[in-house]
Amino acid sequence: MARLIMWPLVLLLTAVTVTSKDMIDKVLDERKSLFDRELGLMLGSNMKLSDSEIKANDIIMALKVDEVERGLEHPKDFNLSKHFFEYKDIVKDTKLFKMIKKMPKGAVLHAHDTGILGPDYVLKLTYMDNLYISFDGDNINFKFSKTAPKTDTSCGCDWKLLKQARAEAKSVADFDAELRKYFTIVIDNPNEVYTDVNTVWKRFQQYFISTGPLFTYKPVWEKYYYDTLVAMREDNVMYFEIRTILPDLYDLDGNTYNAVETAKIYKKVTEKFQKDYPDFFGAKLIYAPLKVLDKPTLHEYIRTAKEIKKLMPDFFAGFDLVGQEDIGAPLRDVVTELCDAGKDLDLFLHAGETNWSGTSSDENLFEAVVLGAKRIGHGFALIKHPVLMEEVKRRGIAIEVNPVSNAVLKLVEDVRNHPLAAFLSQNMPVVISCDDPGVWEADPLTHDFYITFVAISSRHADLRLLKQLALNSLYFSTHPNKDKLVHEFEIRWTKFIDSVVKNRW
């Protein structure tokens, strides 16, 4: 009798086991379907890799996964979760960084005139002849002149020939080390000193104030820009669109050069560089004066932009307004003027470089979209605006994302939480750029690509993402012959892939 009772129990247990297996299979199948759908949305996911690219991808992904997994197991040792100043030099020794350094990265579409080369380069400029220096408390002043400039009675600052000041110093090394501090915002304790956005921006802006008279000496301006192009090329950038305030320049003979003449100098130096390096695809200029202004000043800026475009239509790319967004004039206050500008000028507007939501700085994104901006600078706050995200994607407005800048200037503490992660996962029209890499001692573009790939993008994002980001920078550029640019990129990309497979670094 007991044996008869056991048979229904066995059948019941068997049925439960079968049902459980069916349910588990269903759950796992649904999980895989959702997972594949999500990966299918990622930027670059529809790209097909060649056999060589697959081999290179295996090498690159092994390095990436190793870094991510090590960080997952030992969070306190994951460098990219710390302040950029703590790991900017450390990561240069990794194989993956060196690979990305060698990788053709397309174009830089968002970088500012005198913020691109680092403090060691700027320090060398102070060895030039006819440079005078004066100190005003914690501030420093420079001036190139044939004779000592007049003492500034407002501060009682005495000018001294810099060569003389250096020669009189007890230690030249110590003198230069102190001088170098004015050419960088990098410090040993950034989290203690740069406690908020305003604090770091004050130091950031002081860099440009202190170095302004040094850089605006015409021979220095020309040299700095030429060497900027050198640095871009060495970082495997093919093409460059520079944002510049076009300051008045001066020389030793008392001549000054206005914004239009400064633009002509940019064009002349670009042409010389392309002659010296025919493998570089040139540069264009985006006129980007300061946003804190009155209406007559803005009208003058727009008039200047139109004049430059008329004189140099093939070199002039467009117009922008720059400055700390939270405390600057909102774009809605100058919509009328920008509407007028947009009739004749392409707009590349800074917008949404803020952590706030619902403020004027955040809502600058609306103006940027409706004014027809070709690209939006930063767009950090875009993640909070689902309608705008749809519009940006529908209209093909590229978002110029500058990951290192956003971290250093206190928009995001841990780059893993950067909104770019969401942009990448939703195949948004993104380009990676660098903003002012020299001020925080980063490479022209490699650091931004490396951080995007290792810390911001999904662990599953692979070589296709890197390639798509590089191609996006070419597609969304204003280069007149993008087909030629992309063709050359593909040639360089193939060589890069072959070198990865062969050398593994």
What does DSSP say about strands 283-287 and 316-319: parallel, antiparallel, or unpaired? parallel
Which of 53, 67, 353, 400 does the annotation list as catalytic?
353
Q: What is the DSSP string of 153-208?
A: TTTTBPPEEHHHHHHHSS-HHHHHHHHHGGG----S-HHHH--SHHHHHHHHHHHH
Name every residue whose Cβ is closer than 8 Å to that of residue 62 and which is 6 or more positions away in sequence.
Answer: none
Residue closest to 103 by CA, chosen among 489, 502, 503: 489
Size (the chain), residues? 505
Which of 110, 112, 350, 378 does the annotation list as catalytic?
378
Spell 444-464 as b/e; 16+ CB within 10 A means b: bbbbbbbbbbbbbbeeebbbb
Name every residue whose Cβ is closer than 8 Å to that of residue 502 and which is 6 or more positions away in sequence.
Answer: none
Cα atoms in the 13 Å half-sphere on the side-chain side of 32: 6
What whole-number distance in Å separates Cα of residue 51 and Cα of residue 369? 41
What whole-number distance in Å separates Cα of residue 40 and Cα of residue 234? 34
Name every residue whose Cβ is closer than 8 Å to that of residue 37 and which is 6 or more positions away in sequence.
Answer: none
**53 catalytic, yes or no?**
no
The H or E element spanning position 142 is strand 139-144
At residue 140, φ and ψ (nearest 5 deg) are: -135, 145
What whole-number distance in Å separates Cα of residue 453 and Cα of residue 259? 38
Q: Which residues pair with 378 in a beta bridge?
A: 351
Q: What is the DSSP string of 389-404?
A: HHHHHHHT-EEEE-HH
What whole-number distance in Å separates Cα of residue 263 and Cα of residue 245? 10
* Tally of CB atoms within 10 A around 261: 14
**378 catalytic, yes or no?**
yes
CB 380 within 8 A of CB 352: yes
* Tally of CB atoms within 10 A around 394: 9
What whole-number distance in Å separates Cα of residue 398 and Cα of residue 96? 27
Report the alpha-carbon angle 360-366-371, nearest 5.
Answer: 120
Active site residues: 353, 378
